Amino acid sequence: MYGCTFDGRLDPQFFLDWIQLDKYFTWYDLTEPRRVKFAAIKLTSQASQYWTNLEIMCAVCGQEPINTWHRMKDELRGKYVPSSFSACLMDEWH
């Protein structure tokens, strides 16, 4: 599980499984910046490139760097989990 990487494949469930890093972070009690750094090294391929580009854009635009796990998850979720996916999950659950 914690060796799990995310490559940017367009499979929302794979992404949602990947963000279960929350459990690792809770167990090891990592600081927010360390959580972001750890999660970033677990990104590969297209996801890694997207993350690098996002960090560069924040710097170029004079925005605060993404240094919390919550914000990182939100940014990546916006890219890799379509809004329609949540509705589909709710339909399945009911």
- Using CB atoms within 10 Å of the CB of residue 57, give its burial: 0 to 12 exposed, 13 to 18 middle, 19+ buried: exposed
Q: What pLDDT does 90 receive?
A: 53
Kindly state the tokens that stand for 61: 């635009």
Flag whether the pTM goes above 0.75.
yes
Task: Please report, for the chain, the start and end positions of each structural domain, with discontinuous segments joined by +.
Answer: 24-93
- CA-nearest of 20, 10, 1, 8 to 54 is 8
* Per-residue pLDDT of the chain in tens (94 residues, 90 and over written 9): 456 899 999 889 899 999 998 888 888 989 999 999 999 999 999 999 999 999 999 999 999 999 999 999 999 999 999 888 765 555 555 5
